[in-house]
A = this chain, B = another copy of it.
Amino acid sequence: MDGCAGDQLPVSFTSAVTDHDASDAAGDLLGVPENQFWRDHQSSKVNAIRIRTLIENCDVAVIRFGNKYKQWNAAFDAGFCAALGKPYITLHDPEHIHALKEVDGPALAWATSPEQVVDILKYVTTKE
């Protein structure tokens, strides 16, 4: 989030691996299961090593929903945050308001652009 760097906010970002091909192949280094379910299973578990640690260590999570994919993983992470009492902000277009209502319910903010997320983070970390 480049907006934060420009504003010199006391914020550091972490994220899941965003290279989709690398992420899908995360488990392949342990051997490649022939069955698609188990190949995905193995990779999703390896990615979870990273994601769970990042979620538990962060102060606030930003859960982004794009328009191309179903992104059930994003909704899953939101539920994980909600159960832990970890604050999270959702980021999605207005067209998904209805479909995401259960995800937005416990969220502490719904943003429609990365700029809004930066504005919120700026407010909560630097306003006196």
Within A33-50, the residues touching B (CB, 8 Å) are 33-38, 40-50
Q: What copy number does this chain have within its complex?
A: 8
Per-residue CB proximity of A65-79 to B under 8 Å, as 1/0? 100011111111111
Tell me if A85 counts as interface (CB < 8 A to partner B).
yes
Distance between Cα atoms of A59 and B54 in the complex (Å): 9
Contact between B37 and A35, CB atoms less than 8 A apart: no
Which of B33, B47, B70, B73 is the one whose CB lies under 8 Å from A35? B33
Which of B19, B43, B82, B109 is the one whose CB lies under 8 Å from A30? B109
A53 nearest CB neighbor, chain B only: B59
Distance between Cα atoms of A82 and B47 in the complex (Å): 15
